[in-house]
Amino acid sequence: MSPTAQQDGRVGDRIENYTGFWQKDMNKEKKNDTDNRVENYTEVINGYYDGATELYEYGWAQSFHFSRFYKGESFAASLARHEHYLASQMVLRPGMRVLDVGCGVGGPAREIARFADVEIVGLNNNDFQIGRARKYTKKAGLEDQVTFAKGDFMKLSEQFGENSFDAVYAIEATVHAPTWEGVYGEILKVLKPGGVFGVYEWCMTDRWDPSIPEHKALAHEIEFGNGIPEMRPLAKAREALKTVGFQIEHEEDLAERPDVVPWYYPLEGDIWKAQTVWDYFTVWRMSWSGKLATHNAMKLMEVVGMLPKGTWDVGEALKVAGDALVRGGQTKLFTPMYLVVCRKPQN
């Protein structure tokens, strides 16, 4: 373990292992070995987030998700609106006890707590992110309303007990699960009867055909660039929700809306598409010159020990992610915003 690891929860070895893991995964004998990734999901995902968290915060925001955009709408406003939209579709009411599954550094939890006046428990398997989530929440004065717990979303009922939340939501997190049936089944268990689950899921759309090599390659780049064991089709998410016992009340792929400003625009790095003056800087960080500047600075910081070893490599994986996500968005083969609102039956 590096000294940083003991202080802030990051584990140097697993950041370094992230890229190595995928190299092994893609070697000639075991081409694209999803089984290996699914079995080792905790190490792979934690290695990825140990390396990627600071980059996400620097290049994006404290909310690690995408959103739709309206013309002239700032980046921060659109992220918040996306969170409010989920909360309102779920009809969250003041006083409800709500679980945020895969909560990142708590950006959405703080925003939804303020918006809907609910009590939120953020669940995350990554120590480094939990530490940051607690720090930001204290700074926001929300520590009595928004708390955080370390744990694996594949074992929710073991940790929280059955029937313990009025509502559960997950924003762009459950794609990291080794199986959707596994994580959705656990969410169903911890919900009270009649409780609501709302999710923004990452999926390959119905246009995606894994027998087409370019489609398969796109899914693999998204997996590698984002620490995802296996990209799966949207129909499989719907089927998994029903199989575990949810009643689907509303579903929509929000990426299908005819938006003038597409959800992936900040990743394109085209500063002329920035919607507000302030957002020029956010978009610039995704441009080729912004990426070059960041990656050189990161290399230097890694060499002098300010960043754990392997962070630069994870940054390289993030570049692959950015390009693949834009391609997935342009071709509509991929969506990061398949919205489902569903309910646990009363009996």
Ligand X SMILES: C[S@@+](CC[C@H](N)C(=O)[O-])C[C@H]1O[C@@H](n2cnc3c(N)ncnc32)[C@H](O)[C@@H]1O
Question: Hey, CA dihedral for 105, 106, 111, 112, is it positive or negative?
Answer: positive
103 lines the binding site for ligand X (CB under 6 A): yes
What is the four-CA torsion angle of 10, 16, 21, 27, rounded to 10 degrees? 170
Asked if 131 is part of the footprint of ligand X (rule: CB under 6 A), the reply reads no
Least gap, CB of 123 to ligand X (angstroms): 6
Q: Helix (H, G, I), strand (E, B), or coil: what is residue 106?
A: coil
> Could you tell me which stretch among 1-9, 124-132, 136-144, 324-332 binds ligand X (CB under 6 A)?
124-132
Q: Least distance (Å) from ligand X to the CB of residue 300?
A: 27
What gap in Å lies between CA 118 and CA 36, rounded to an integer? 39
Contact 50, 126 (CB under 8 A): yes
| Single residue of 45, 120, 255, 337 touching ligand X by CB under 6 A | 45
Which of 152, 181, 302, 323 contacts ligand X by CB under 6 A? Answer: 152
Torsion of CA 69, 104, 47, 3, to 10 degrees: 130
Helix axes 12-25, 311-331, angle to 10 degrees: 50
Residue 265 CB, nearest distance to ligand X (Å)?
A: 18
Among 4, 19, 124, 294, binds ligand X (CB under 6 A): 124
Minimum distance of ligand X from residue 247's CB (angstroms)? 24
If binding is defined by CB under 6 A, does position 324 make contact with ligand X?
A: no
Q: Which is nearer to ligand X, 182 or 299 (CB)?
A: 182
Q: Which is nearer to ligand X, 99 or 298 (CB)?
A: 99
Which two tokens mark 312? 């630069």
Q: Which is nearer to ligand X, 181 or 297 (CB)?
A: 181
Of the candidate spans 122-130, 137-145, 276-284, 326-334, the one that interacts with ligand X by CB under 6 A turns out to be 122-130
Q: Does the protein bind ligand X through residue 102 (CB under 6 A)?
A: yes
Minimal CA–CA distance to 81: which of 289, 254, 227? 254
Which is nearer to ligand X, 38 or 271 (by Cβ)? 38
Count CA within 13 A, CB hemisphere, residue 165.
30
Q: Is 104 in the site for ligand X (CB under 6 A)?
A: yes
Cβ neighbours of 172 (radius 10 Å): 20
Amino acid at 259: D
- Per CB under 6 A, the segment of 123-131, 245-253, 280-288, 327-335 that binds ligand X is 123-131
Q: How far is the CB of 244 from ligand X (least distance, A)?
A: 17
- Residue matched to tokens 């003041």: 94
Residues numbered 154-173 forming contacts with ligand X, rule: CB under 6 A: 154, 171-173
CB-nearer residue toward ligand X: 152 or 302? 152
Residue in the block written with tokens 């895969």: 102
Instruction: Name the minimum Å distance from CB 180 to ligand X.
Output: 12
DSSP state of 233: B
- Note the helical H segments in 196-345: 213-226, 234-244, 265-268, 279-286, 288-303, 311-331
Contact yes or no for 156/122 (Cβ under 8 A): no
Report, in Å, the least distance between residue 145 CB and ligand X: 17
How many whole angstroms separate alpha carbon 338 and alpha carbon 204?
Answer: 10
Q: What minimum distance in Å lies between the beta carbon of 125 and ligand X?
A: 4
Q: How many residues bind ligand X (CB under 6 A)?
A: 22
Residues of the shown chain interacting with ligand X in the complex, contacts defined by CB under 6 A: 45, 49, 63-65, 102-104, 107-108, 123-126, 129, 152-154, 171-173, 176
